[in-house]
Structures are given as C-alpha cells and as structure tokens.
C-alpha cells in the first residue's frame, strides 16, 4: 500500500520534499546529519552556525521561518527530492502544491524541556522550573493538533522516529527511515553519523 501511495504522490505532485520535523531540541539536527551522511541532498544556508548547543550544526534554512506568513511559497518546489528542516509549529503552513515525506522526531518531553532550559541558561536568558509541567502539557496539545491537521492532508506521509531509541541503538530506526524514504540510503553511514556523546539531557 505504501508503494502505491508513493507512486500516486509522485504522479500528482512530483518528487516529495523530505521534511525533518519535531519540537525544538528533539533531535532534528541529528536526523539532518544522518540523512546527509546517507547521501541525500539537504537544503541549508548555514546562516545559523554550530555552537555549544548543537556542535554538529543546525542544518537550517532561514526562509523556512517565514512559512507562517502570507506570501509566495513556490520556492519550495525547487527543493523537491531534497531534505528541508521544518519545525513542528510550521508544518501546517507547508503549501498544498507539493508532496511531503515527514520524518518526525520524537523525544521524551521532560528531556526536550530540560535541553531548552539549558540552552536558555547558556544564553543568559531566564528560566522558570515551575512552568516546566505547563510547557510539557502545551507541547502535548500541540503535537495532538499537528497530527490531526497533517493526518487529513493527502499529500503528506509521516514517520515517527524516536530520538531516544536512536541514541540507544541507531540501526533499527535508520533502517525504518531508509525504507520510508525509498530504501536506497546507506544505513551504515546513517548509523556512523550518530554521536551518542551529545546525549546530554536524559530523562530521569
């Protein structure tokens, strides 16, 4: 069934855009690095440089940050068949004139919030531990809404990938991603691209 749907998507919209998405600090940069190592072409302007929070780089495209604004989005067509990183809050703003294969990164929400708090501390910005539970509940609500919105769009295919599972044993998730994206990726290189030493905010 998935093969038939892939053929239908390509016939209607052309090669799909591979979208790596998820919450901030959920492992999207790691997946971008894995797909780059596997041989896919990623789209990045490298404006946001690597830093202490993401020493391997962010692999972002500044133009993506304006998807929620009205305006011309036809530029995305030039990236069919390539990989673009899109934060989960902007998935709903992707236009309907492309097909998309979304590799969606999942991570323990406790770890997501802890990682975000550490990033804020390094930047000298205030954090409020008392609001962590509220933030986690907001993220849960956002994720449910995003799944419902995307689930109703025929030009999207979706694969959940666990950040925590990748850091434990990357081969299984890498094989699933390779199958989802057509089976022609180098799983070995995806596995080699994973740096477990960067797993610095673990759930307790």
Asked if 83 contacts 98 with a C-beta cutoff of 8 angstroms, the reply is no
List the chain domain ranges: 2-194
Asked if 107 contacts 164 with a C-beta cutoff of 8 angstroms, the reply is yes
Q: How many CA atoms lie within 13 A of 63 on its CB side?
A: 12
Q: What is the pLDDT of residues 153-199, one digit of tens each?
A: 999 999 999 999 999 999 999 999 999 998 789 999 999 999 887 76
- pLDDT at residue number 1: 55
CA distance 169 to 172: 7
Asked if 15 contacts 107 with a C-beta cutoff of 8 angstroms, the reply is no
Q: What is the pLDDT of residues 81-133, one digit of tens each?
A: 999 999 999 999 999 999 999 999 999 999 999 988 888 777 777 666 668 89
| pLDDT at residue 37 is higher than 60 | yes
CATH 3.30.1600.10 fits 2-194, yes or no: no
- pLDDT at residue number 192: 95
- pLDDT at residue number 135: 92
Which residue, among 8, 37, 13, 18, has the nearest Cα to 81 in the 3D structure?
A: 18
């Amino acid at each position: 069934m998935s093969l038939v749907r892939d053929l239908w998507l390509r016939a209607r919209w052309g090669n799909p855009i591979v979208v790596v998405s998820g919450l901030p600090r959920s492992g999207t940069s790691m997946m971008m690095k894995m797909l780059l190592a596997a041989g896919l072409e990623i789209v990045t302007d490298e404006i946001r440089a690597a830093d202490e929070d993401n020493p391997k780089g962010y692999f972002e495209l500044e133009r993506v940050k304006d998807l929620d604004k009205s305006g011309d989005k036809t530029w995305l067509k030039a990236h069919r068949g390539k990989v673009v990183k899109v934060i989960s809050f902007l998935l709903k703003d992707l236009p309907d004139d492309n097909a998309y294969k979304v590799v969606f990164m999942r991570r323990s929400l406790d770890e997501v919030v802890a990682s975000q708090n550490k990033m804020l501390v390094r930047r000298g910005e205030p954090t409020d531990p008392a609001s962590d539970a509220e933030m986690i509940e907001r993220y849960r609500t956002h994720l449910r809404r995003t799944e419902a919105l995307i689930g109703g769009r025929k030009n999207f295919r979706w694969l959940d990938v666990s950040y925590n599972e990748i850091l434990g044993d990357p081969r299984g998730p890498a094989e699933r991603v390779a199958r989802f994206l057509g089976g022609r990726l180098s799983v070995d290189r995806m596995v080699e691209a994973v740096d477990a030493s960067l797993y610095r905010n673990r759930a307790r």
